[in-house]
Amino acid sequence: MIISSRSAAVVCGLVATLAVGLFPPAAAAADEPAGPAPRVDLVLDVSGSMRTRDIDGKSRMTAAKQAFNDVLDAVPEGVELGIRTLGADYPGKDTKVGCKDTKQLYPVGPLDRTEAKTAVATLVPTGWTPIGPALLGAAQDLGEDGDASRRIVLITDGEDTCAPLDPCEVAREIAAKGIHLTIDTLGLVPDEKTRQQLTCIAEATGGTFTAVQHTDELSRRVTQLVDRAADPVVNPVATEGAARCADAPQIKPGLYSDREKFSEHRWYRVDVLPGQELRASVSVGADRAVDQDYGVLLRAVTVHGREIVRGSEAGDGRTDVISSGLRYPKPEQDDTDDDDKQAAETVCLQVSNSFSAPASVKTTPGLPVELTVDLVDAPDTASDVASFGLGRGWWLLGVLALTGLVAGLLWGWISRLRLVWSN
């Protein structure tokens, strides 16, 4: 028995040593950027129509609450966030009272996730849809002093019910102040009039409109917008992709805009140095009626046509945008040839879409494309470099298999010794 316990300890020690040696501690997080903290105000519609049960079999309010919990868990450090409601308190028919029904539910500032979630959990669909007054209140919540970026994210299931205070005009007035404030709008299962109004609000401040049919779509989109608030504002650079890689424009890290015909392939080129990681993402917008089945493909290939890695996304039903991305870490070269050590590899990026449209819909101009390219430091060691398309999965699987093999051999040897000594 004593020998068995000691042997087990030896095995555990060896396995632990392998694990520690092969899985080094993670590097410390990068320092937070300096400058004024970005500010975000989430404006949530709590009007009576939010009781409608047409999002994943749940009410719109339930879907919004679930999405808010996901979003609040993912807010980046350093972002000041607040929550404002509209239509949450007054159930009556007095227009003057109903059109003032907007309030700050959680003040814009450092986030207490538990407190914010508790506040959202108490909401019950109640009253009107005073979008214009809510936008004015949100702009006041965010303030006008300083150079911090400001973003309002409006989530609603209907158009404003408090005209003549036109929310589009309110958005234009906010934009005219020049206070670095962007309004993004999300429509929950919107009809055409709601789409038009929310698109107008967003375009007035350089924001975006997104139609939402599912809870996970709402969570992802709001999280993206909050993350975007944490990054410096970047204006897309207009470019024009080519029909083949040899003729493609050379692009550097940045944000690019283009137009792509239905079911077209377009190419761009990026130079990647040894030790760098290429990160790219693409979004294709459906700015008109399209057929229900669609997809987007982003591929990285060599100049000789060999595929390196790809990212793709497909869907069906009504959509306003579809996105995909990829990562390619280029390993460091050997030190044997200093002249070639910093030679860049030209990577060809292919953007393809599988959109189609009904015969009555014009296919020109092409669909709007937004391409993001970044180059960052790749993993420190060659063993950290991913096998393409699988991240670090195969490397980790090999390590685990090796560790299990060594542990199994040692345990088998110990078991034989125990059997011999017991006889």
Listing DSSP states for 274-294 in one string gives: TTEEEEEEEEEE--S---S-E
Output the pLDDT for position 114.
Answer: 95
* 394, HSE (Cβ side, Cα atoms, 13 Å): 8
Output the pLDDT for position 180.
Answer: 77
Output the pLDDT for position 234.
Answer: 61
| Residues 321 and 287: beta-carbon distance below 8 Å | no
* Amino acid identity for residue 420 in this structure: V
Output the pLDDT for position 361.
Answer: 85
Output the pLDDT for position 390.
Answer: 38
Output the pLDDT for position 140.
Answer: 94
- CA 44-201-360 angle, to 5 degrees, is 110
Output the pLDDT for position 80.
Answer: 95
Residues in the chain, pLDDT under 50: 1-33, 381-394
**180: closest CA among 150, 206, 202?**
150
Output the pLDDT for position 45.
Answer: 96
**276: closest CA among 336, 342, 187?**
342
Output the pLDDT for position 154.
Answer: 96
Query: Helix, strand or coil for residue 377?
Result: strand
Mean pLDDT of the chain: 82
Q: Which residues pair with 185 in a beta bridge?
A: 154, 209
**368: closest CA among 297, 262, 234, 292?**
262
Beta strands, E only, 243-355:
254-260, 265-272, 276-285, 294-301, 307-315, 321-329, 345-353
